[in-house]
Amino acid sequence: MAPKDQAQGTENSGQLDFPRPLATVDVVIFAIRNEGLHVLLVQRPAGAGEPFPLSWALPGGFVDVAKDRDLEACAVRKLKEKTGVTSPYLEQLGSWGSAGRDPRGWSATHAYFALMPEEAGRTALAPDAQWFPVSAGRIKPKLAFDHGEILTAAVERLRNKVEYTSLPAYLMPAEFTLPDLQRVYEIVLDRPLEKSAFRTRILSADMIEPIAKMRRGPNRPAQLYRLKKGKEPVYFVRTFNPPE
Amino acid sequence: MAPKDQAQGTENSGQLDFPRPLATVDVVIFAIRNEGLHVLLVQRPAGAGEPFPLSWALPGGFVDVAKDRDLEACAVRKLKEKTGVTSPYLEQLGSWGSAGRDPRGWSATHAYFALMPEEAGRTALAPDAQWFPVSAGRIKPKLAFDHGEILTAAVERLRNKVEYTSLPAYLMPAEFTLPDLQRVYEIVLDRPLEKSAFRTRILSADMIEPIAKMRRGPNRPAQLYRLKKGKEPVYFVRTFNPPE
DNA sequence: TCAATAGTGTCTCTTAGACACTATCAG
DNA sequence: CTGATAGTGTCTAAGAGACACTATTGA
């Protein structure tokens, strides 16, 4: 039986006994690990009837209408289950739904993407979870379902937004220097940025504040900063000018 | 019964007999009509068991797992049913899902937003559909479900993107002048733009081309343009500088 | 002629890019 | 001292804002 259109019904379209798609939530979790962008994946179980057994996939799962108040709560729950942390940054990425993406039937997933510092992803990682480096917007193993496509979209979104926002701040540890932050921008954008322009932009954005400590090393010490409390991301009115 | 997590299952998580949320698609359809931003709404039916009877709502309805190949196809179908046209521009806006947004149960909607020229929205409008002016990002009647919130998000997204993209081109008729286009930018942004900078930006974006015709009136004729074939939206590297 | 709108040119200001320069540490 | 990295200053180029100026029509 096909669903009635919500607004057509002269008949009783309050009837709800038609097939419903499966509803899932998946989270693309990013962190910087040894100078590279990484994403957290989980290995699919091997049980009978399981689609894509032992393939790597984005952390996620079915919406639980009893446990989850709303979609974001569901995403937070998945994140917490896999990493033990609630990410400092979580944004909706989009939804993917079609007849064929899951062999178990018509399904739609609500995808989120999360940013966290490396330190956060180390403590309580689930046993089936593992960090994978992202190179050229892709991952080495072929992912389950359409998760490769979702990951590509997430990387693209992240790259785009890094051009004109302060998102990389959420990938930083609690205390960091300006050169640290610039390195993270450069890792995500995969191109060098000009130091002077970078510093001017970041410092005039009023997003970080210096703390009374320096990072000392074999050379000139660097001022340490932390994120300001009001932690909404900052939007710049220009992008970093693209090369060529 | 609660759904098993996709990736936890040592037991058989291939079991699918747990409650599923309702899945719908809603479309926010924008057009410019007499110098103002308008959105297309449909009136909800009055039948027994219908939520929000006779309230105005975004056009949309349940995903039909038999008819709809994927979410976008479902959105295109809704759009066609209500306007008779397939919009020149359709973009996913996001998804809203929670236990309480629909009195019939846990539901999630996949929201899209569409842009079309005024002319398109005149021919085959559904009898229950009507254009409403958007003022200050809101609509006069209180909308059904959480559609007011979705509409607000759509207007905000549109305003943001108009600052740095060529999206308003999709609100224009087939032939238009540069002052026409500027007026549409100004309507959406709700502030005047500077003529000279506007023309420079649009003309250097290589998105429109002059045709061999002028718009004649009681004053100096204006060059008519049309959208170039390759109709992807253009992204500028700067926003129009915000006031103050 | 004038009113009205289309379209151009000229100046200033902001900010990115390039790049040289100074500053401060360990050894 | 040297090497290394942090941080600043100076010049140029691009594009926006402001605004004056010219251009082309109908009446």
Domains and CATH numbers, chain A: 22-161 (3.90.79.10), 165-227 (1.10.10.10)
pLDDT of the residue at A241: 66
C-beta separation of B222 from B215 below 8 A? yes
Contacts of B244 (CB under 8 A, 6+ apart): none
Per the DSSP assignment, residues forming a β-bridge with A109 are A24, A96
> Around Cβ B126, how many Cβ atoms within 10 Å?
16
For A43, the 3-state DSSP assignment is: strand
For the ranges A221-230, B81-90, B106-115, which has the lowest average pLDDT?
Answer: B81-90
Residues of A in contact with B44 (CB under 8 A): 6-7
Q: Is the pLDDT of residue B203 over 50?
A: yes
Q: Are strands B22-33 and B107-115 parallel, antiparallel or unpaired?
A: parallel
For the ranges A106-110, A135-139, A209-213, B49-53, which has the lowest average pLDDT?
Answer: A135-139
Please name the member of A19, A61, A108 whose beta carbon is closest to the beta carbon of B7: A61
Q: Residue at minimal CA–C1' distance from C2? A: B219
> Around Cβ A74, how many Cβ atoms within 10 Å?
27
Q: How confident is the model at residue B168 (pLDDT cuts 50, 70, 90)?
A: very high
Proportion of chain A in helix, strand, coil states, percent, rounded to 5: 25, 30, 45
Which amino acid appears at position A120 of this protein? A
Q: Which residues of A119-144 are buried (b: 16+ CB within 10 A; e: fewer)?
A: ebbeeeeeeebebbebeeeebeeebb
Q: Which one is predicted more confidently, A13 or A130?
A: A130
Tell if the CB–CB gap between B43 and A7 is shorter than 8 Å.
Answer: yes
Residues of A in contact with B67 (CB under 8 A): 2
A90 to chain B, minimum CA–CA distance in Å? 14
Helix axis angle for B178-189 and B195-204, nearest 10°, is: 110
For the ranges A119-123, A183-187, B187-191, which has the lowest average pLDDT?
Answer: A119-123
CA distances for A182 relative to A188, A190, A233, A243, B176, angstroms: 10, 12, 16, 17, 44
C-beta separation of A60 from A77 below 8 A? no
pLDDT of the residue at A106: 97
pLDDT above 70 covers a percentage of chain A that reads 93
Residues of B in contact with A57 (CB under 8 A): 6-7
**Exposed/middle/buried for residue B79 (C-beta within 10 Å: 0-12, 13-18, 19+):** buried
pLDDT of the residue at B160: 92
Q: Is the pLDDT of residue B13 over 80?
A: no
Spacing of A21 CA from D5 C1' in Å: 56
Q: Which one is predicted more confidently, B140 or A134?
A: A134
Spacing of A180 CA from C23 C1' in Å: 19
Mutation target for B interface from A1, A4, A5, A157: give the one with most B CBs within 10 A: A5
For the ranges A146-150, B89-93, B226-230, which has the lowest average pLDDT?
Answer: B226-230
Write the DSSP assignment of A171-226 as a string of letters. Answer: GS-SSEEHHHHHHHHHHHHTS---HHHHHHHHHHTT-EEEEEEEE--SSS-EEEEE
The pLDDT tens digits for B222-243 are 999 999 987 789 999 888 865 4
B109 to chain A, minimum CA–CA distance in Å? 10
For chain B, give the longest Cα–Cα distance: 78
Spacing of B222 CA from D20 C1' in Å: 21
